[in-house]
Every structure is written in C-alpha cells, then in structure tokens.
Amino acid sequence: MPALPPARRAALRRRLLAWYDAGHRDLPWRVPQRGADPYRVWLAEVMLQQTQVQAVIPYYERFLRRYPTLGALAAAREEDVLALWAGLGYYARGRNLLAAARAAQARHGGLPASLDALRALPGFGPYTAGAVASIAFGIAAPVVDGNVARVLARLFLVEGEPAAGTVRSRLWALAGELVDPARPGDLNQALMELGATVCVKPAPRCGRCPVAARCAARAAGRERAIPPARGRPARRPLELACALVERAGAVLVVPRPAAGLFGGLLGPPSVELAGEDDPATALARTAREAHGLALAVGEEVARVERTLTHRALTLRGYRCTLRAGPPAAARWVARGEEGVALPTAFSALLATLFSTSRRVRCKNPHSRPGRLADKLARQRSSLTRGSSSV
Ligand code: SF4
C-alpha cells in the first residue's frame, strides 16, 4: 500500500529536482554533452561503490581512455583491467565489471535497456541495476545506497538500522514511490547528491536542504539520531610473510589465488602467519608447495602496514634467493614499472625494498652479502603505513 500521499510525493519530487537542476556537482560522468552513455554511467556507479568521488575521478578518466566503449572492455584481458583497477581496492568489482561487460556484449551487444536483463548480469545488484536503468535508460527504477538510505530514513522518520531486513525493505519501497516517472535518473541522482553533500552524517546541514520543511526527522528534532550510528567491528590483524626475490632491479611476483585477499592479482609469494609460525619456514614451504619455488629465505628487510575494510594488514618482506628457476606463471616487476596488476600494499612493499637496496648500494658498492644483511637489518626504520581496501 502506498505510504506517500500524492500531494507530498509531488512536492518532494518538485523540490528535489529543482534543487538538483540549480547546482549539482559537475562530475565527469555528468557532463551533459556526453549524454547518458549507459557504459559510462555503469562504470562510474561501480567505481563509486565504497570509494570517494575525488578518488574515483582519475581512475574513471584513465579507464575510459583505455577502454572507451563496452566492446573495448569486453575484449580486454583480466590482467590488464585489474592493473588499471589497482589502487581502487575491492578488486572483485574489477573482475565483475569485466565479466558483466563480456556477458552484456555477448547477450545483448551492449548494456540492455531492461531492469530484469541488467539484474541478470554478473555483479548487478538492485542498486547498480536501478542506477543504470534510471540514469541511462529513463526507466522508473529506484536506487538505495548508503546516502539515499540516510536521506529517506530522515525524511520519513524510519527508525532502525538501514541494512536490517524490514527497514531495508521499507526504504526501497519509499524510494520506489518517490522515483519520478518523467525524470527517474535525475530524481535518483538528486537523492544521492543530497545525501553526499547536505544530509550528511552525523550532522545534516538542514539549513541548506530543499526538503527541510517536509522532513519528519527534523520536525521531531531527531535528524542527528537517525539512522542510528553503527559501531564498526574491530579489524582483525592479518600478517603476511612475503618472499622478496630481487634480480637486476626487478622483483619476482606470482599470480594470487582467484579467491581471497587480492584475488587474481599479482604479488610476491606470501603466506599468512598464524600463531607461532616461523616466518622463514612457513614462507619456504608455501613457496615450494603453491608455486614450485625453491627459496632460501633471508632476513626481514621491509615492512608495510595497511588498514583494509575488515583487516589490519601487515606485510613483512623477507629477502630471498632463488635456488632454481621460477615457474612459468611468475614474472619480474621492475622498479617504477606501470600497468602491473599489483595491489598498492605490495607496490609499497616493493618500493621499500628498492629504496633500501639502493641506499645500501650507494653507501658501499663493495658490500659483501653478509655485511649487506647487517646493513639492511639496521635500516628497517623505513616502514610505511597507509590505508587501503580490498
Ligand atoms: Fe536531511 Fe536535514 Fe534535509 Fe531532513 S532536513 S532530509 S535531516 S538535511
């Protein structure tokens, strides 16, 4: 049963669209002369999931230069797509993007103008399908992401955690009633924009809100209490020992398993450390069993810490010597080499190794291996820290 009286619904649509028309952010995927290219709309929506607008823009533009059409993306190699994605995090999005491009090209010759057909593509959940359908094809389909959920919960005083089953259903139903049949894409983008720039958490800027006079949470003085703040679960520590085999200014990397951390990307052979594991023993064993690599594991020469969505990641790099030739799947990554599907955490580890090696060579080009190890050990102060996502 509809929850919105027609007069209220019409007033909300009118105010939201007028506010959006008067001055939404000028983002690359909204440049008017480009029109609503479904591929561009979709690419932007996928990149924007879990990632800030400013971080997405350079990736979006670089991606479009390399793959300007859906057909170009569908013909790409996964390794090349993931290399362009490196740094955006959540690499499953990059893999799903390629899988969906191939499926859409094969089944429809492009992205289909149908909500059901979009939903059938890999990685197309209700949000992505609704966004592409409404923005690119003018289909009256609702969208609810984190920003829209917050706006709707406040506007209609919906209590409870937005991700919880019944609350989630209620928010989707409200979004469905509110979507404007004449301008569904603009109405949806107005809600997204309002949530991103005005109806923010924890303190909304109600004085700048176009629908403040019709906001139930504001009328009740509860705009800061809705939706309830979610406690972030503690990040579990994850420690990886990584084998750093250096040769002529390059480091050996191998493909990572398709499932799990940084799945399908490249990285130095590594093992997750648990309990009382001796890193050198565990690393040598895993390199042998998983990659057919015979390694002599030396001492720790680099360390990188990263904050992932659910994990506190520590990479510990051990200088290793190859006792037998690398397997066919392995490759060498040179200092500063671009276009490699290497997660930023591993790139930072390799950069630390390269800079440590160079400093030692510059100080004493005649260092013998035994002394080199001592010097590297003394230079472990060059730890790097940062945050990233998977
Ligand atoms: Fe959000 Fe305030 Fe606008 Fe209500 S009045 S929708 S709480 S910004």
Atom of ligand 1 nearest to the CA of 150: 1
In whole angstroms, what is the distance from residue 104 CA to residue 241 CA? Answer: 40
For residue 202, how far is its CA from the centre of ligand 1 (angstroms)?
Answer: 11
In whole angstroms, what is the distance from residue 318 CA to residue 293 CA? Answer: 15
CATH 1.10.340.30 in the chain: give the residue spans.
Answer: 6-219
For residue 389, how far is its CA from the centre of ligand 1 (angstroms)?
Answer: 30
What is the arithmetic mean of pLDDT over 213-219? 96
Asked if 136 and 42 touch (Cβ cutoff 8 Å), the reply is yes
C-alpha count within 13 angstroms, C-beta hemisphere, residue 248 = 1
What is the arithmetic mean of pLDDT over 194-214? 96
Tell me the pLDDT band of 183, cut-offs 50, 70 and 90. very high
Fold exhibited by the domain 236-363: Nucleoside Triphosphate Pyrophosphohydrolase (3.90.79)
Of all protein residues, whose CA lies closest to atom 1 belonging to ligand 1? 199
DSSP 265: S
For residue 206, which amino acid is it? C
Asked if 272 and 238 touch (Cβ cutoff 8 Å), the reply is yes
| pLDDT tens digits, 282-291 | 999 999 988 8
Angle at 178 between CA 177 and CA 179, to 5 degrees: 100
- What H or E segment, with its residue span, contains residue 359? helix 344-363
**% of the chain surpassing 90 pLDDT:** 64
What is the arithmetic mean of pLDDT over 149-175? 95
For residue 180, how far is its CA from the centre of ligand 1 (angstroms)?
Answer: 20
Asked if 89 and 50 touch (Cβ cutoff 8 Å), the reply is yes
Q: List residues near ligand 1 (CB under 6 A).
A: 151, 154-155, 198-199, 204, 206, 209, 211-212, 215, 217-218, 223
Q: Is there a catalytic annotation at residue 300?
A: no
Whether 70 shows a pLDDT value over 90: the answer reads yes
Q: Which of 69, 214, 241, 233 is nearest to 156 (CA)?
A: 214
**% of the chain surpassing 70 pLDDT:** 89
Atom of ligand 1 nearest to the CA of 198: 8
pLDDT of residue 360: 55
35 φ, ψ (degrees, to nearest 5) = 70, -175
Tell me the pLDDT band of 378, cut-offs 50, 70 and 90. very low
Select from 156, 171, 191, 198 the residue to mutate for testing ligand 1; criterion: most ligand atoms less than 8 Å from CB. Answer: 198
Question: Which residues contact residue 387 at a Cβ distance below 8 angstroms, ignoring those fewer than 6 apart?
Answer: 306, 307, 308
- Residues paired with residue 254 on neighbouring β-strands, in sequence order: 267
For residue 194, how far is its CA from the centre of ligand 1 (angstroms)?
Answer: 9
| pLDDT tens digits, 32-62 | 544 579 999 999 999 998 788 889 999 999 9
Sign of CA dihedral 249, 254, 64, 62: negative
Residue 9 structure tokens = 């619904």
Higher per-residue confidence, 276 vs 295: 295
In whole angstroms, what is the distance from residue 81 CA to residue 241 CA? Answer: 27
For residue 208, how far is its CA from the centre of ligand 1 (angstroms)?
Answer: 9
* pTM exceeds 0.75, yes or no: yes
Q: Which of 320, 304, 323 is nearest to 244 (CA)?
A: 320
Sign of CA dihedral 4, 7, 8, 9: positive
Give the mean pLDDT of the chain. Answer: 87
Of all protein residues, whose CA lies closest to atom 2 belonging to ligand 1? 206
pLDDT of residue 2: 56
Whether 365 shows a pLDDT value over 80: the answer reads no
What is the arithmetic mean of pLDDT over 82-98? 87
CATH 3.90.79.10 in the chain: give the residue spans.
Answer: 236-363
For residue 154, how far is its CA from the centre of ligand 1 (angstroms)?
Answer: 6
Tell me the pLDDT band of 366, cut-offs 50, 70 and 90. very low
What is the arithmetic mean of pLDDT over 213-230? 95
Atom of ligand 1 nearest to the CA of 211: 3
Select from 147, 206, 224, 226 the residue to mutate for testing ligand 1; criterion: most ligand atoms less than 8 Å from CB. Answer: 206
Atom of ligand 1 nearest to the CA of 210: 3
In whole angstroms, what is the distance from residue 311 CA to residue 95 CA? Answer: 21
Beta carbons within 10 angstroms of residue 37's beta carbon: 16
Distance set, CA 171 to CA 231, 243, 292 (Å)? 21, 49, 52
pLDDT of residue 51: 83
Of all protein residues, whose CA lies closest to atom 5 belonging to ligand 1? 212
Whether 134 shows a pLDDT value over 90: the answer reads yes
For residue 223, how far is its CA from the centre of ligand 1 (angstroms)?
Answer: 7
From 23-32, 127-136, 301-310, 331-340, the region with the lowest mean pLDDT: 23-32
Q: Which of 124, 170, 165, 132 is nearest to 37 (CA)?
A: 132
In whole angstroms, what is the distance from residue 287 CA to residue 285 CA? Answer: 6
Distance set, CA 60 to CA 236, 376, 388 (Å)? 31, 39, 18
pLDDT of residue 276: 67
- What H or E segment, with its residue span, contains residue 182? none
pLDDT of residue 358: 60
Specify the CATH architecture of the domain 6-219.
Answer: Orthogonal Bundle (1.10)
pLDDT of residue 367: 41
Count of residues for the chain?
390
pLDDT of residue 33: 43
Q: Which of 181, 183, 216, 178 is nearest to 199 (CA)?
A: 216
pLDDT of residue 214: 95
Whether 83 shows a pLDDT value over 80: the answer reads yes
From 22-36, 151-165, 296-310, the region with the lowest mean pLDDT: 22-36
Sign of CA dihedral 366, 372, 378, 382: positive
3-state DSSP assignment of residue 40: helix
pLDDT of residue 326: 79
Of all protein residues, whose CA lies closest to atom 7 belonging to ligand 1? 223
For residue 261, which amino acid is it? L
Catalytic residue, from 45, 223, 239, 246: name it: 45
Tell me the pLDDT band of 221, cut-offs 50, 70 and 90. very high
